């Protein structure tokens, strides 16, 4: 490391993103001139397995040539609502769905499957698992990305996922320290604040992180959240030396890689500025800085860090420590030498993912009966998917729960607006006349009250209603007594296929919720 220039050192501490399927001119310049040594991939970088494999190989070649070290190529591959791998890879269920299977070994299997699918493409760093406890039902960004609402469930399943990823040969980042579960603000859009004491955090939020640290966690993501009872200077955890160094490293004993959440998120960019946030994060003890979208902001951050070092504001010893930590994990994970996978191996992974998904479907309320062989008297109603938060994957234009379920089960189906008004509700009530069974696909209906109004009106009109929560299971708390509620947790092809198997009577809903709901039946 002694041979590295300051520019080369700073470049090792940055993770950059770019817009397309190939290395563009700006990214080429970031690597060549700014010595950027790491990359994050998003869905907009992903077309299919072959394209991603070639892209990652090109990135490794170029970054190694320009910096002398392999790249950490990262991706948010949590499963479920947050998936970035191509459709011809195997994408597993999300955290809350997996915990609802009641079998921690499924979390381990999901980690191993994900690691294998990533390594085949040349991706060596997964920004998962989520160890946030979803103890706030109004949380707009975590909810089903969490394994549950207790420290015990999150710890049991999150650590199995982490172990599966690590043993599968992928660096895994637990997130979002010291806990993003008890917020009602998305840090992509604003700056959340949690007014809890350190003692209160230690009783709940910190427990999964401490357990993961004790079990060998190698990477950890900081949260852009204010903790005013702990950090008095008015900066979020990512920029807080009290939280990152004093608490995480010194008190909790963490010795791994500390990474920032994206410094372009509004919680940092709007309130502090990305470049200032980068300097503040390094001062706090963060090792690796994510600036995931804007090449100009990457350049600004590199130049601001260099200026801070040259002026003495940022001691070079802090930079050197961070570089040493990054290079330590590059030595372990940087070179992905993988012979690829056969289609038969992908098929094994896909069958395992399908089995886990099927086990996750929960019968939450009312009396469940399959709609087949009564399909002729059934109508399936639901909205199309949308992107509920900035962390989630983009909604697929081709995916439609009512269309897929209707085609598979031989029933009529109708697509409703995401939040149907009184006029549309009346139209759908009239369309359902004469049907003994109505299946309603709810998608975050607790945020779109028209869906719930429709489901409850259909039940009041005498139909046997089966409501399927394809997002937050909290929707099912708001159904009238007697309505059958199924929790599927995510509006994905995998979850829809599992619901169809349940509705057809091919399988039973054996899942058990990993959180507490209040419902009327």
Sequence-ordered list of residues with C-beta below 8 angstroms from that of 231, at least 6 positions apart, any chain: 237, 240, 242, 243
Structure tokens at 380: 């399936």
Q: Distance (Å, rounded) from C-alpha 174 to C-alpha 216?
A: 11
Do the beta carbons of residue 495 and residue 489 sit within 8 Å? yes
Kindly name the residue from 44, 188, 293, 519 that is annotated as catalytic: 188
Nearest to 119 by CA among 66, 55, 68, 53: 53
Ramachandran class of 485: left when φ > 0, alpha when ψ lies in -120 to 50, beta otherwise: beta
Pairing mode, if any, of strands 484-487 and 362-365?
antiparallel
Let me know if 519 is a catalytic residue.
no
Dihedral in degrees, nearest 10, Cα atoms 52, 24, 276, 133: -20
Structure tokens at 421: 């008004």
Let me know if 447 is a catalytic residue.
no
Task: Give the length of the chain.
Answer: 521
Do the beta carbons of residue 209 and residue 174 sit within 8 Å? yes
Sequence-ordered list of residues with C-beta below 8 angstroms from that of 80, at least 6 positions apart, any chain: 92, 93, 94, 95, 96, 97, 144, 145, 489, 490, 492, 495
Structure tokens at 104: 């921690």
Sequence-ordered list of residues with C-beta below 8 angstroms from that of 93, at least 6 positions apart, any chain: 79, 80, 110, 353, 356, 357, 360, 489, 490, 492, 494, 495
Cα–Cα–Cα angle for 211, 115, 249, rounded to 5 degrees: 30
Kindly name the residue from 149, 182, 186, 261 that is annotated as catalytic: 261
User: Catalytic residues, which ones?
Assistant: 188, 261
């Amino acid at each position: 490391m002694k041979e590295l220039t300051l520019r080369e050192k700073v470049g090792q501490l940055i993770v950059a993103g770019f817009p397309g399927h190939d290395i563009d001119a700006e990214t080429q310049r970031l690597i060549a001139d700014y010595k950027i040594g790491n990359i994050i991939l998003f869905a907009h970088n992903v077309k299919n397995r072959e394209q991603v494999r070639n892209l990652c190989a090109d990135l490794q070649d170029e970054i190694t040539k320009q910096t002398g070290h392999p790249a950490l190529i990262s991706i948010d591959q949590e499963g479920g609502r947050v998936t970035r791998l191509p459709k011809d890879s195997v994408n597993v269920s999300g955290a809350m769905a997996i915990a609802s299977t009641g079998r921690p070994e499924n979390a381990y299997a999901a980690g191993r499957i994900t690691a294998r699918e990533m390594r085949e493409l040349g991706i060596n760093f997964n920004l998962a698992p989520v160890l946030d406890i979803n103890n706030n039902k109004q949380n707009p960004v975590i909810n089903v990305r969490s394994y549950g609402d207790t420290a015990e469930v999150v710890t049991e399943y999150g650590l199995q996922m982490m172990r599966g990823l690590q043993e599968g040969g992928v660096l895994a980042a637990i997130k979002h320290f010291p806990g993003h579960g008890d917020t009602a603000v998305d840090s992509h859009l604003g700056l959340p604040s949690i007014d809890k004491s350190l003692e209160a955090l230690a009783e709940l939020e910190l427990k999964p992180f401490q357990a993961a640290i004790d079990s060998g966690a190698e990477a950890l993501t900081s949260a852009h959240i204010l903790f005013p009872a702990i950090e008095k200077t008015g900066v979020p955890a990512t920029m807080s030396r009290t939280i990152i160094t004093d608490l995480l490293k010194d008190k909790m004993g963490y010795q791994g890689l500390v990474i920032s959440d994206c410094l372009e998120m509004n919680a940092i960019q709007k309130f502090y500025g990305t470049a200032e946030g980068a300097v503040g994060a390094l001062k706090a003890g963060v090792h690796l800085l994510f600036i995931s979208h804007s090449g100009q902001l990457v350049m600004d951050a590199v130049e601001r860090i260099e200026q801070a070092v040259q002026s003495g504001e940022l001691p070079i010893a802090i930079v050197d420590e961070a570089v040493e930590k990054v290079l330590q994990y590059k030595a372990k994970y940087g070179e992905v030498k993988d012979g690829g996978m056969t289609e038969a191996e992908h098929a094994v992974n896909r069958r395992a993912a399908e089995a886990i998904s099927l086990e996750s479907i929960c019968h939450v309320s009312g009396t469940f009966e399959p709609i087949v062989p009564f399909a002729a008297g059934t109508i399936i109603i639901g909205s199309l998917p949308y992107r509920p938060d900035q962390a989630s994957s983009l909604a697929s234009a081709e995916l439609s729960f009512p269309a897929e379920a209707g085609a598979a089960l031989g029933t009529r189906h109708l697509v409703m607006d995401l939040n149907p008004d009184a006029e549309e509700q009346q139209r759908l009530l009239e369309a359902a006349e004469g049907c003994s069974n109505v299946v309603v696909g709810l998608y975050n209906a607790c945020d779109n009250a028209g869906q719930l109004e429709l489901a409850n009106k259909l039940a009041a009109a005498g139909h046997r209603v089966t409501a399927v929560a394809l997002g937050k299971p909290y929707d099912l708390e708001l159904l009238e007594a007697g309505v059958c509620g199924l929790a599927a947790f995510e509006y994905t092809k995998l979850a829809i296929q599992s619901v169809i198997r349940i509705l057809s009577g091919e399988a039973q809903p054996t899942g058990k919720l990993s959180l507490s709901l209040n419902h009327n039946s």
